[in-house]
Amino acid sequence: MKSNLAAIFLCLWVMIACSDHSFKEGKYFAGGKYVTAETLNKGKMTYTEYCMACHGVNGDGKGLSAKGLVPPPRDFTLGLYKFGQVVSGELPSDQDFKHIIKTGLNGTGMLAWDMSDEQMDSVIQYIKTFAPAAWEGKDKKIGEAIVVTPDPFGEAHKSAAIERGKEVYHITGQCQTCHRAYVSKEELSAMNKKINNQAITDFDANLYEVKSQDSQHNVKTVPPDFTWHSVRSAKSVDELYVRIAAGIGGTAMPSWKDTITNEDIWAVSHYIRYLMDMKDTPAREELIKRLQ
Ligand code: HEC
Ligand code: HEC
């Protein structure tokens, strides 16, 4: 009997010892940040409790609750993130991760999480361990934070911003090549005549449809119709400014920071906010009907 018990304890000890994947050493991450083994182990506990169901035991986004989620949970093994306040493709800061986890992503399975600062900081460090090639090593760099400049329009000149934003959206930026257009063909042609001194005679057949795009996240991503779909990472004009300047990492949505002027980024941010305000209103129905 006694030896049976001893054998059982020995078995248990072996099982526990062999399944102990805890961190024994700290790690250096991008930006020269050193994180202790203790922090990583705490982060793993928080992750297992709150995040694993969707993001998966291996961080690959294939957790048990991930089935059927559109968009799917982020695959952390790619080391590629969408919504940092950095030019798309660059590594986000801890502050960016914190913002995303605290705020959640509108209209997705990624809800807002309320946790202690210690849990928050440790889980952020832990998710980096899924992508060692991107994060590990003192030489790796975090992207430079996009600075929100003062809004040149503000509330006082909001309608001028929206008017200019409409031109930036449809002519300067051609956002409708992926997203959809929100003006009639006559209006589009007139705007092009005003800006480029040339009328448009040839229109895309799918001018009023959103065009699904390939992404490096191994899924197609849909450019939102701003009067209908959720904008994931932004509600205010300031947040839209950040997103449009930054782009969306690993997707077709480019960074507009050095492509259009700063003033035009602000103008188109006001215009997108104006489109978002149309959601669920009769004005949207009228507009959509008029453009069919
Ligand atoms: C119910 C499922 C679910 C749970 C639970 C969940 N997430 Fe997510 N998470 C998602 C989805 C879905 C996305 C992708 C949204 C998108 O692509 O627009 C996501 C995206 C993310 C991103 C990527 C942001 C970016 O910029 O690319 C981070 C970081 C993240 N989650 C962290 C966490 C952490 C930390 C936890 C636990 C505290 C957690 N998530 C729990 C579903 C979940
Ligand atoms: C080459 C294709 C492409 C072009 C051009 C493009 N976008 Fe996008 N955009 C996308 C895709 C794809 C998404 C969705 C990415 C995702 O959430 O996975 C997106 C998403 C967005 C979002 C939503 C961000 C969020 O947090 O959900 C905004 C705002 C946006 N685009 C603004 C613009 C503006 C303004 C322009 C023109 C100046 C533009 N886009 C041009 C492909 C494009």
Same domain, 113 and 159: no
Question: Is the distance from the beta carbon of residue 74 to the nearest atom of ligand 1 less than 6 Å?
Answer: yes
Contact 91, 140 (CB under 8 A): yes
Same domain, 124 and 193: no
pLDDT for 289 equals: 93
29 Cβ contact partners less than 8 Å away, ≥ 6 residues apart: 35, 125, 128, 135, 136, 140
Same domain, 107 and 36: yes
Q: Is 101 exposed, middle or buried (0-12, 13-18, 19+ CB in 10 A)?
A: buried
Contact 86, 93 (CB under 8 A): yes
Instruction: Give the residue, out of 85, 238, 248, 256, with the most ligand 2 atoms within 8 A of its beta carbon, to mutate for a pocket test.
Output: 248
Contact 180, 209 (CB under 8 A): yes
Measured from CB, residues less than 6 Å from any atom of ligand 2 are 82, 169, 173, 175, 177-179, 213, 221, 223-224, 231-234, 240, 243-244, 248, 251-253, 256, 268, 272
Among protein residues, the one whose CA lies closest to atom 41 of ligand 2:
175
pLDDT for 1 equals: 52
Contact 50, 109 (CB under 8 A): no
Task: Domain count for the chain, please give it.
Answer: 2
Among the bound ligands, the one closest to the CA of 78: 1
Pairwise CA distance, residues 87 & 99, whole Å:
16
Torsional sign, CA 268, 273, 276, 278: negative
Query: Which of the listed residues 135, 167, 184 is the one where a domain comes to its end?
Result: 135
Q: Domain for residue 264, yes or no? A: yes
> Which range marks the domain in which residue 261 is found?
155-290
Averaged over 82-88, what is the pLDDT? 98
pLDDT for 12 equals: 57
* Residues in a beta bridge with 27: 35
Averaged over 216-234, what is the pLDDT? 97
- Mean pLDDT over the full length of the chain: 94
Task: Decide if pLDDT at 207 tops 60.
Answer: yes
Instruction: Give the residue, out of 83, 105, 179, with the most ligand 2 atoms within 8 A of its beta carbon, to mutate for a pocket test.
Output: 179
Q: pLDDT, tens digit, for every residue of 132-168?
A: 999 999 899 999 999 999 999 999 999 999 999 999 9
Q: What is the CATH number of the domain that holds 102?
A: 1.10.760.10
Instruction: Please name which of 57, 45, 66, 74 lies closest in space to residue 232, comparing C-alpha atoms.
Output: 74
Ligand 1 center from residue 108 Cα (angstroms): 9
Ligand 2, residue 233: give the atom nearest the CA: 26
Cα within 13 Å of Cα(118), Cβ side: 6
Same domain, 128 and 237: no
Query: Which of the listed residues 103, 135, 167 is the one where a domain comes to its end?
Result: 135
Among the bound ligands, the one closest to the CA of 247: 2
Q: Domain for residue 3, yes or no? A: no
Same domain, 160 and 279: yes
Q: Domain for residue 8, yes or no? A: no
Ligand 1, residue 113: give the atom nearest the CA: 38
Task: Decide if pLDDT at 15 tops 60.
Answer: no
Contact 77, 58 (CB under 8 A): yes
Q: Domain for residue 9, yes or no? A: no
Ligand 1 center from residue 188 Cα (angstroms): 38
Split at pLDDT 50, 70, 90, the class of 118 is very high
231 Cβ contact partners less than 8 Å away, ≥ 6 residues apart: 106, 224, 240, 243, 272, 276
Instruction: Give the residue, out of 167, 178, 235, 263, with the most ligand 2 atoms within 8 A of its beta carbon, to mutate for a pocket test.
Output: 178
Query: Which of the listed residues 72, 103, 135 is the one where a domain comes to its end?
Result: 135
Question: Is the distance from the beta carbon of residue 218 to the nearest atom of ligand 1 less than 6 Å?
Answer: no
Among the bound ligands, the one closest to the CA of 179: 2
For residue 71, is the peptide bond before it cis, meaning its omega torsion is within 30 degrees of 0? yes
Question: Which DSSP string corresponds to 91-154?
Answer: BPPHHHHHHHHHH--TTSS-------HHHHHHHHHHHHTT-HHHHBSTT--BPPPPP----SST
Instruction: Please name which of 103, 88, 80, 72 lies closest in space to residue 222, comparing C-alpha atoms.
Output: 72
Question: Is the distance from the beta carbon of residue 69 to the nearest atom of ligand 1 less than 6 Å?
Answer: yes
Question: Is the distance from the beta carbon of residue 50 to the nearest atom of ligand 1 less than 6 Å?
Answer: yes
Q: pLDDT, tens digit, for every residue of 39-83?
A: 999 999 999 999 999 999 999 999 999 999 999 999 999 999 999
Q: Domain for residue 38, yes or no? A: yes
Is pTM beyond 0.85? Reply is: yes
Question: Which DSSP string corresponds to 143-187?
Answer: PPPPP----SSTGGGHHHHHHHHHHIIIIIS-GGGTS---S-HHH
Same domain, 185 and 259: yes
Same domain, 282 and 227: yes
Q: Domain for residue 284, yes or no? A: yes
Contact 119, 42 (CB under 8 A): yes
pLDDT for 237 equals: 98
Same domain, 271 and 222: yes
Same domain, 167 and 124: no
Same domain, 197 and 263: yes
